[in-house]
Amino acid sequence: MSTGTLINIVIIVLIAWFAYTRMKPAKGLRNLNAEAFKEESVKYGAMIIDVREPGEFKGGFIPGARNIPLSQLSRRLGDIPRDKTLLLYCRSGMRSKNAAAVLRKNGYSDLAHLQGGISAWKGKLSK
């Protein structure tokens, strides 16, 4: 096998590994479609957390959501109750998965996120 072929294989494997680690489901996080997300927010009195940055939040957010950006999450754990279902969302679903990982490491367990992020939301937005 030539060196060029070997390098190409290594690059493909690294790209595949990177994609998998970004797309794999987060441990202990339920994926909800927009309908289930809305239903759970009402049914269980869940806390909705928008993990986008404040500028994104001001552009429109799911009614009742609190803005706790992922960049501030570790410092603001005191603002988040441990005894409630937490529904997380961001723009596309990537930051909410990362937020769930932070929350799980800090003892939170009842976590779900809006699959596809606010882009998948079909309801009204507040501003």
In this structure, of 25-39, 50-64, 99-113, the range with the lowest mean pLDDT score is 25-39
Question: Which is catalytic among the residues 51, 65, 90, 99?
Answer: 90
Is 1 a member of any domain?
no
pLDDT confidence band for 96 (50 / 70 / 90): very high
Q: Establish if 15 belongs to a structural domain.
A: no
Q: Range of 108's domain?
A: 27-120
State the CATH number of the domain containing residue 35: 3.40.250.10
What's the pLDDT tens digit per position in 65-77? 999 999 999 999 9
Residue 69 domain-assigned (yes or no): yes
Q: What is the pLDDT of residue 54?
A: 97
Q: What pLDDT is attached to residue 23?
A: 63
Asked, for residue 47, whether it belongs to a domain, the answer is: yes
Question: Rounded to 5 degrees, what angle do the CA atoms 29, 33, 35 make?
Answer: 125
- Total structural domains in the chain? 1
Token pair listed for 117: 């992020």
Q: Confidence class of residue 60 from pLDDT cuts 50, 70 and 90?
A: very high
Give 107-126 pLDDT, tens digit per residue.
999 999 999 999 999 889 99
Q: Mean pLDDT, to the nearest integer, of 43-50? A: 91
pLDDT at 26 over 80: no
Tell me the pLDDT of the chain averaged across its residues. Answer: 90
The residue-averaged pLDDT of 19-35 equals: 77
Domain contains 109: yes
Residue 20 lies in a domain: no
90 counts as catalytic: yes
Is 60 within a domain? Answer: yes
Query: Is 17 among the domain residues?
Result: no
